[in-house]
Amino acid sequence: MKKIHLIILFFCVILTSFITYAEERIFLQEDTRQIPYIYYPKKQTLCPEDKSNFNCLNVFLHTKTSLHIQTETGKRVYIQTREHNVYQLLQDSRITSTTPKKIAILYISTGKYIQFWNNFYHSAERYFLPNHHKTYFLFTNHDTLDVPTNVIKIHQDQLPWPYITFQRYHFFSKIAHLLKEYDYIFFMNGTLFLKDYVHEEIFPTKEQGIMVTLHPGQYRKAPATYPYERHPSSQAYVSYEDGIYYVAGGFNGGTAESFLKLTETIKQMTEKDLKNNILPQWHDESMLNRYLIDYMKTGKKPLILTPQYLMPESDFFNIAEFLPYTKILILEKKRYGGAKYLRQNN
C-alpha cells in the first residue's frame, strides 16, 4: 500500500510539473480580433534555437489579458502566461521588411525653429526606417536654405503662435496630391531627435490605418483627467464620459490613404473653429484626440505607440521606465532660447 501511495505521489508531482511548465510557456496563437495593440519597450528576448536568422522576438511584460502584437512576418498573434499577463512583442532591430516602402516625412520648421532641422535630418537618416525610401517635406520660410536631394522644400509663412501649429493640417492638405503617391506618411514635430532605430513596428496595417503616440505627460492617468477640449462649441470637444487614450500631436502617421483622410477631416474641423473664433486648449493635438475617439467609434483600431517614441529630454513625468528604451527624444526648448524666443516672428 505504501508503494502505491509513493507511485501516486510521484505521478502527481510529474503531472503538476508538466501543467506548470505548460502554463508558463509562452504560447503564440493567431488572433484575428480587431482590438488595439500597443508596442512596449523590450525587456527580454525570445529566440529560436537557430539564432543565425536573427528572428528574435523582444518582449515586455504588460498587465492586460490580451493585446494584439505583430511579428516579423506580419501575423497578428497574442501570447500569454499562466499569470495571465501579456507580453508585447517588438520587432528586433535587425529584422527588416523585404520590400522597401515609399515614406513621406512631414516637418515644419519656420523662423528660429530652423536650428533644429539639421540635427533632426541627420538623426532621421540614420535611425528612422533606414531600409526604406524616405522623402522629407520641409515646410519653411527659409527659402534659400540648401537641402539634400531627398528633401522637398514647401514655402510656409511663419504664422503667429499658436496658428502655426493649429493649422498644420492645412499645410499638409495643400500637398495631398504629392503625398498620395507614398505608402506611408509620418508627421514629426520640429523639436524631435532620433536616438535609436525605428523600424517597421510603426507601420499600421491597412485595417488599422493610422498610428498615434501616447502622450508622455498623460501616460497612465485617468481619462477623466486628460486635457481634452471641454468647450462644447469646439469641434474638438470631448465629454468627461468619452475617451480612452490621450495621444500627443508630435508624432503620428499612417498609410497614405488613412492619413490624408485624417488630414482633410481635421482641416475641416479646424476651419469651423476658426470661423467661430474658437481656439482649442491644445490646438491641433485637441483636434487629433477628437478624431481618434471618432475613428475608434467606427470600429477602427489604430496602432498606438508608447512614450518611448516621444521621450522628453527633461521632465520625465511618470515614464521613467521607458528611459532605457528611448527611440525619439523631444528636445528641451529651454536649451535653445525657450518657447517664447523660438516663437518670435523675426
Pair type for strands 133-140 and 102-108: parallel
Pair type for strands 29-30 and 76-78: antiparallel
**The C-alpha cell that represents 40 in the structure block:** 512596449
Catalytic pick among 125, 257, 285, 321: 285
CB atoms inside a 10 Å sphere around CB 92: 19
264 is catalytic: no
SS3 of residue 84 by DSSP: coil
**DSSP code string of 173-228:** HHTHHHHTTSSEEEEE-TTEEE-S-B-GGG---TTT-EEEEB-TTTTT--GGGS--
CA pair distance 253, 260, nearest whole angstrom: 9
DSSP 263: H
SS3 of residue 253 by DSSP: strand
Catalytic residue set: 285
